[in-house]
Structure 1
Amino acid sequence: MASWQKTLQESSAPPVASGDSAPVRRRRKAARPSELVAAALGLFVERGFAATRLDDVAARAGVSKGTLYLYFDSKEALFKSVVEESLVPALAAAEQWLAQYEGSATDSVRELLVGWWVLLGETPLAGMPKLIIAEAGNFPELAKFYHERVIVRGRALMRTVLERGIARGEFRPLDIEIAIDVIFSPILMLLIWRHSMVGMCGYDYAPATYLETHMNLLINGLCADSRTGTAGASAAEGRA
């Protein structure tokens, strides 16, 4: 498990109950917002944002629609809570971890990507990228919210890692903004594939093998190596 995931688990662990337990009804009421958010996430991923009805969210969470409105005044508010409760804490934990990280840039790339896959790829959150891509045109405000709260911060994390690696001489100089897209794209492809094409094509990728292949190609491409530089220069001269 990535170190920043441990930080996330520790920060989000439920408080230890005291000797006198709260009444079941009180505990149930306190848990309702999280239950509604979990129900909304499942339905958003299964049906899409537009096709998900608040009645269905309430039914899946086991409450009335009136109860749902006590906590969320709209479907948009529910979506934002899914992002704020599920993704933003993980990004905050990763930022905290990276601010204190003293290891190699290579290891930090691996830990960020593998940790991000564990968070998304092995949970219902795996369907979020497909959801955003599919619904962005019809709900631009939600797409903008997701971009600002998730994508911008995720890119900033990887930008910091790449800048450190280049500054230390671990990574060769490159266009960092393009590199960020190239690094994240294979993982997004795997998430979208598994939520779109697997059932129709009849085959899937083993995530561990896929990620290891991506890591091998990525690290070998990033690492500073005089032989790589020479080969790249020779190839460029040949094309010229």
Structure 2
Amino acid sequence: MSTLLPQKRLRLSPDVRRDALLRAAYDLFSRHGFADTRMDDVAAAAGVSKGTVYLYFPTKEALFAALLRRDVLPRVGRILFVLNHYNGPVGWLLKRVTHFIGGKIDAGTVPLYPKLLVREASRFPELARFYHDEVITPVLEAVEGLFRRAIARGELIAGEPKMYAHLFIAPVVKAALWYFTFGEISAPAVKARPYLKAHVETFLRGVRP
């Protein structure tokens, strides 16, 4: 008579186990938010003990930061490369960027992380600080450099590049905030893509010679 022997537990490599924890955390943060997700929940979803989670991530904030490094910072790096090396017509790039972002907002496919930060930054300032230092500040500085080069070429009137950067970014943030705050209960009076298109056209009329 044959017998069924207990299967030997598969030993996962540290990289595979770490990836499983990150995937579990992303799913839980998406469904429950940062505050309402416990490390116990992440461990259970990944199929490991709670102690195993802490071997890889000492805090929930460290787990969130690891997700940002995996999912956001590589994309930010590509964006920064374009912004820092682009020397073509600035209006063309601004229109392309806002067309892309507006489409994401209208389609409801904005990445998880900005939405989480808007909702929970006041309760978890260390998350906001990490995102500010690693994402917001480098992007703003790159946009500022983009405007500085356009001014030097005579494409834009002389002005403060830092102010130009903030004036350009502000309506983009407003469109995203509207989606994050009211998107689940009410359709916007104006879609993000045409709104941002009108913004860029108005902005360029004000800063071109």
Tell me, yes or no, whether TM beats 0.5.
yes
CA deviation after TM superposition for structure 1 residue 91, in Å = 1.8
Q: Residue 89 and residue 43 in structure 1: after superposition, are their counterparts in 2 closer, same or farther (change >3 A)?
A: same
Matches within 5 A, 1:190-201: 190-201=175-186
Is this contact kept in 2: 1:106–1:165, CA < 8 A? no
In the alignment, what sits opposite 2:170?
A: 185
In the alignment, what sits opposite 1:77?
A: 62
Q: Does 1:173 align with 2:158?
A: yes
Is this contact kept in 1: 2:144–2:161, CA < 8 A? yes
In the alignment, what sits opposite 1:156?
A: 141
What's the % identity of the aligned pairs? Answer: 32
Q: Distance in 2 between matches of 1:64 and 1:118?
A: 41
User: Aligned to 1:131, which of 93, 116, 139?
Assistant: 116
Q: Distance in 1 between matches of 2:121 and 2:190?
A: 27
Is this contact kept in 1: 2:76–2:135, CA < 8 A? yes
SS at match of 2:111: helix
In the alignment, what sits opposite 1:223?
A: 208
CA deviation after TM superposition for structure 1 residue 176, in Å = 2.7
Q: Residue 174 and residue 102 in structure 1: after superposition, are their counterparts in 2 closer, same or farther (change >3 A)?
A: closer
Is this contact kept in 2: 1:109–1:161, CA < 8 A? no
Is this contact kept in 2: 1:129–1:188, CA < 8 A? no
In the alignment, what sits opposite 2:79?
A: 94
* TM-score, scaled relative to structure 1: 0.67
Q: Residue 99 and residue 109 in structure 1: after superposition, are their counterparts in 2 closer, same or farther (change >3 A)?
A: same
CA deviations over 1:155-207 (Å, ceiling 9, x no partner): 01110111111111111223332332222222222222222212323556534
CA deviation after TM superposition for structure 1 residue 147, in Å = 1.0
User: How many equivalent residue pairs?
Assistant: 200
Is this contact kept in 2: 1:109–1:158, CA < 8 A? no
Instruction: Give unmatched runs, 5+ long, in structure 1.
Output: 1-24, 225-240
75-84 or 136-145: which moved more? Answer: 136-145
SS at match of 2:185: helix
Q: Residue 155 and residue 209 in structure 1: after superposition, are their counterparts in 2 closer, same or farther (change >3 A)?
A: same
Partner letter of residue 171 of structure 1? L
CA deviations over 1:25-72 (Å, ceiling 9, x no partner): 789864443443344344435443222212333444555544433432
Q: Distance in 2 between matches of 1:215 and 1:28?
A: 49
Partner letter of residue 172 of structure 1? I
In the alignment, what sits opposite 1:108?
A: 93
